Structure 1
Amino acid sequence: MYFQLLKQLITGIIIYLFFAFTGAYAQTTKFRALAVLSRSDDHEKMMMAAKPFLEKLAKESHFTINITDDTSKINDANLKNYAVFVMVQLAPFDMSYQQQDALQRFVEQGKGWVGIHAAGLTGKDFLAPNTRYWQWFESMMGNVVYSPHPAFQKGTVIIEDRRHPVTRNLPAKMEIEDEWYEYNRSPRGEVHVLATADESSYKQVKPMGDHPIIWTNEHFRRVVYIGIGHSPVLLQNPNYGVLVRDAILWAAKSN
């Protein structure tokens, strides 16, 4: 009887360890994301802080993330290994034509895209003469053109959609410091607005009135833009961590 109980106990332990190991392995290989960082001097401090920030998010949420500032990694052969592309302040005009085309194909195939802050720098003002403009990217952004942002200052983000997976774990309002990107018009009507900037909480350059700051584009399966994210201090805000985490997890979903 004693040996039979001992055998059952050992068998139980082996089964438990097997499922614990395979379960943990499955969690760590949930999906793969590629994050490409900006090389702009203006974003250097944020990029230094973004790498450990993203690595921590990935570890805690059980997905794999590869982080680089090498835009040559944006090619068809490499992108096929990933479910999500995270554009961390990398401006669209800092990519070559071939890299732009590869990312466009990636998104049009139904893969996920998360753009943060300077990833949304649409418009032709930044382009050198005789440079091709990536009109498709402007369309993905909701057909808006970036205009000069106001001074870095404290303001309030109002969460408009409290049910969407990207924003449902956030409070109704978040007070942060940022550059509060402005555009030539509101993208509302062409995108699904998740959050807006409360223009009464800071000084604008050109008030937009309706000022979306986080949105998805439902013409694509998994595209989300987060307009806030200039300062590395923001990465210490737990709510911002939740926002970026949930944006990546949502963008990675296959249905």
Structure 2
Amino acid sequence: MYLRKIIACSALLMSVFSSNLLAEQFSVLVFSKTAGWHHSSINEGVTALKAMAENHHFTLDWQEDASLINTENLAKFDVVLFLQTTGDILNEPQQKALEAFIQSGKGFVGVHSASDTEYDWPWFGQLVGRHFHIHPQIQTARLSVINDSFPGLEYFPKTSLWTEEWYEFGEELSPNLTYLLSVDESTYDPKADWGRAKGEGMGKFHPVAWYQYFDGGRSFYTALGHMGVSYSNKAFIEHLYGGIYWAATDKGMKK
């Protein structure tokens, strides 16, 4: 009987030990609800993120149901990733739940049209950092790395040609932004005219990606990722994972 108890205890300890060894390093909620333009590249993005989660050993849950943005469900995650969201997608209780999530020290990642989301919610604008204003047609332009200390930028040359739907942004909504990538407007035509909105570009400095510490938590945003083919690009995937990893762990910065 005594031997059986020892064996049972040993088996239990081994089970707990094995579970700890196999546990994923963090959890990410991917949220892609749209109330405006719906990017077809969401599907490619989700496929790439699922492969990324397997490759980097983290948990990923993809949802478009805004009712899951609540305090109880968010407690399961370390990062909320807004993948190509657009428009007014959260009600007031859901907004409060996301605010509390960030204030508890958790992370946010926004991809491309996440900046085209929740214009009437000032806190969210500050979380993302800037709001989308307009974009010209898809063009090739010169992309530059302006801060290579952030994780995930190892696969970008200092400058390179990149084809994208180049977003023009409004003013800074947070004073805490640290910029990572910029695009040279002299290498493409930034002008756009939609009738209700016009764009002339942002001038000599046109940011494309940034991060910040905000309201107790962490926020990373990249304007890249409009086209589905981007999600099979090694440089972009590593850029995106670098943002997710930092937002989840506050680690990865080069010294």
SS at match of 1:230: coil
Q: CA deviation at 1:102?
A: 1.2
Determine if contact 1:155/1:176 at 8 Å carries over to the other structure.
yes
- 1:225 aligns with one of 221, 225, 229: 221
- 2:49 aligns with one of 47, 54, 61: 54
Amino acid corresponding to residue 163 of structure 2 in structure 1: E
Q: Which runs of 5+ in 2 are unaligned?
A: 1-13, 192-199
TM-score (norm 2): 0.79
Is 1:35 aligned with 2:22?
A: no
Q: CA deviation at 1:105?
A: 1.4
Provide the C-alpha distance between the structure 1 equivalents of 2:140 and 2:107, rounded to a whole number of angstroms: 30
Provide the C-alpha distance between the structure 1 equivalents of 2:133 and 2:36, rounded to a whole number of angstroms: 20
Q: Residues 41 and 100 (structure 1 numbering): CA distance in 2 closer, same or farther, change over 3 Å?
A: closer
Count, aligned residues: 227
Structure 1 residue aligned with 2:233: 237
Percent identity reads 28
Q: CA deviation at 1:27?
A: 5.0
Is 1:208 aligned with 2:202?
A: yes
Determine if contact 1:123/1:145 at 8 Å carries over to the other structure.
no
TM-score (norm 1): 0.79
CA deviation vs aligned residue, 1:116-172 (integer Å, no higher than 9, x gap): 011012675xxxxxxxx2011122233x44311111222232111111224345322
Provide the C-alpha distance between the structure 2 equivalents of 1:87 and 1:254, rounded to a whole number of angstroms: 19
Is 1:138 aligned with 2:150?
A: no
Greater share of residues in helix? 1
| 174-183 or 74-83, which deviates more | 174-183
Amino acid corresponding to residue 140 of structure 1 in structure 2: L
Provide the C-alpha distance between the structure 1 equivalents of 2:151 and 2:249, rounded to a whole number of angstroms: 11
Provide the C-alpha distance between the structure 2 equivalents of 1:188 and 1:85, rounded to a whole number of angstroms: 19
- 1:182 aligns with one of 168, 172, 176: 168
Structure 1 residue aligned with 2:75: 80
Determine if contact 1:152/1:178 at 8 Å carries over to the other structure.
yes
